[in-house]
Amino acid sequence: MTLNKVKYRDFIAPLLVGLIIWLSSPIKPASVSMNAWHIFAIFVATIIGCITRPLPIAGVAIIGLTLTVLLGIVPMDTAVAGFGSSTVWMIAMAYFMSRGFINTGLGRRVALVFVRLFGKRTLGLAYALIGVDLVTAPATPSNTARAGGIVYPIIQSLAETFGSDPKDGTQSKIGSFLVFAEFHGDLITSTMFMTAMAPNLVAVTLAKSLHITLSWMQWFLAGIVPGLICLLVVPYLIYKMYPPEIKDTPNAKQWADDELAKMGKMSLPEKIMGGVFLLALVLWMLSSFIGLEASLVAFMAVSLLLVAGVLSVDDVLHETGAWNTLVWFSILIFMANELNKLGFIPWLSGAIGGALKGFSWGIVLAALVLFYFYSHYLFASGTAHVSAMYGALLGVAVSAGAPATFAALMLGFTGSIFASTTHYANGPASVLFGSGYVTQGKWWQLNFILGLFYLVVWGGVGALWMKVIGIW
């Protein structure tokens, strides 16, 4: 057996920053307790560790939790309480559901059907692939799994069919456009549904710690109009700014037909998977009206898939993405909740709010959204960024007088659209940029333009829409 690779040099930054904050306790504000200051030091060090990644994020989080208990800041019973969060387990259950899409082949079949229906032109092909992302997003909290596990293999096969390969310099024929369009389609669908990516659920949990409850349906209704606008307009903008050389794709329909013929008729496991998914979707939509917790719906769906034999216990045990998320999410949520309970977040929110005193809540919220969005250039993880800043920024917005639910949703949406920055902004960016179809310069240039578009649509149109439906 060989030792696992650990990047020890990448421990330096989190350790240094954590020690500096820890040792600066003599100059901490008088209203902040010593325990609050010390857990803040460990929390910041953990977040930086999630960025530098000397170990995978779950490993970094475990070390942070261990230090918190070892140094006597909180007892062990308190530290492990985060593992009992219903939101955390909802993410795990949704991961198991997404495994069903891949195992049964239903995700691929849906993708091929979309290509057959809408793939006569390259632009239509992009809309078809994004449609697959839209259909699977509500039950797939890993946007990386959607983009990289379901849609990208289809893009790669189509690109090969049309002779588009970065290895021989032909990526601009069709592959570059489809890859970049799918990245933005995945980004938009991630913003529209609470359960479409893990950072959304981090935000929901942090908002709840500030006594602001966001339901699945509330998130969906608030995001539906700006989301649909973006889904309709963004692929066309990319088509104009980054046009493919091949505009017509008559072979795509035949290719999809051939692939569907190879798959044969829809199998019983696929039908069961589709039925359970639709049931979960309907129950999530109705959960706030019928008093059914969204996490319980996820448990029900996975239970049905296990009883029907679509998922096996081995599938559940070997779904590493779910267990990995369960570990780091629980620990980061525990730390964030302790910062709030021990008074650090209320103090920080009050201090920043005091500095912004005199400005209307609308200006304060707009400034916070812009800061939150553009600070993502410094982060390589949406989860780390949301965990580090969402709670504090929401506290500032509310203390400035912003309607609580409106502020929570605006910052929640920003926690997804800020991925339109770099090629390392989130998991899908890493997967799709790593395919080699889009250059780094083009990625940054086009994303900067589209980022401005997202800010206008979600911050402008989205805000007006939320006014119309009575959120503020």
Q: Burial code of 291-309, b = ≥16 C-beta within 10 A, e = fewer?
A: eeebbebbbbbbebbbebe
pLDDT: which is higher, 309 or 382: 309
Please report, in angstroms and rounded to a whole number, the separation of the first and last CA atoms in the chain: 59
pLDDT, tens digit, 9 for 90 and up, residues 23-40: 998 888 877 889 889 988
Whether 384 shows a pLDDT value over 80: the answer reads: no
Question: What residues form DSSP beta bridges with 121?
Answer: 248
To 10 degrees, the CA torsion angle through 46, 47, 48, 49?
A: 50
471: confidence class by pLDDT, cuts 50, 70, 90: very high
* Most confident region among 130-144, 269-283, 357-371, 452-466 by mean pLDDT: 452-466
Position 394 confidence tier, pLDDT thresholds 50, 70, 90: very high
**Structure-token pair, residue 21:** 């904050």
Q: Using the predicted structure, report yes or no on whether residue 407 has a pLDDT greater than 90.
A: yes
- pLDDT value at position 380? 63
Tokens 């495994």, located at residue: 99
Per-residue DSSP letters for 431-470?
Answer: HHHHTTSS-HHHHHHHHHHHHHHHHHIIIIIHHHHHHHTT
User: Which pLDDT band holds residue 235 (cuts at 50, 70, 90)?
Assistant: very high
Q: Which of 344, 46, 394, 57 is nearest to 206 (CA)?
A: 394
The pLDDT value recorded for residue 99 is 79
What 3-state DSSP class applies to 309? coil
Strand partners, 248: 121
Position 133 pLDDT exceeds 90: no
Average pLDDT over residues 265-287: 83
Of 149 and 335, the one with more pLDDT: 335
453 pLDDT band (50/70/90 cuts)?
Answer: very high
pLDDT in tens, 312-356: 888 888 888 778 778 877 887 788 778 777 877 777 767 776 777
Q: How confident is the model at residue 57 (pLDDT cuts 50, 70, 90)?
A: confident
Q: Name the maximum alpha-carbon separation found in the chain.
A: 71
**53-64 burial code (b ≥16 CB/10 A, e <16):** ebbebbbbbebb
SS3 for 121? strand
Q: What is the mean pLDDT of residues 155-169?
A: 78
CA 455 to chain CA mean position, Å: 17
248 three-state secondary structure:
strand
Q: Please, which pLDDT band fits residue 87 given cuts at 50, 70 and 90?
A: low
CB 107 within 8 A of CB 101: yes
Q: What is the mean pLDDT of the chain?
A: 84
Position 455 confidence tier, pLDDT thresholds 50, 70, 90:
very high
pLDDT in tens, 178-204: 889 999 999 999 999 998 888 898 899
CA distance 67 to 73: 9
| Contact predicate 150/209, CB 8 Å | no
Measured at the CA of 142, the angle between CA 140 and CA 224, to 5 degrees, comes to: 60
Q: Is the pLDDT of residue 296 over 70?
A: yes
Spatial separation of the C-alpha atoms in residues 202 and 264, rounded to whole Å: 40
The average pLDDT across 436-453 equals 90
Compute the C-alpha angle 226/231/237, nearest 5°. 110
Inter-residue contact 154 to 129 (CB < 8 Å): yes
Residue appearing with tokens 């090969």: 160
At 186, list the tokens: 């995945």
Phi, psi (deg, nearest 5) at residue 81: -60, -30
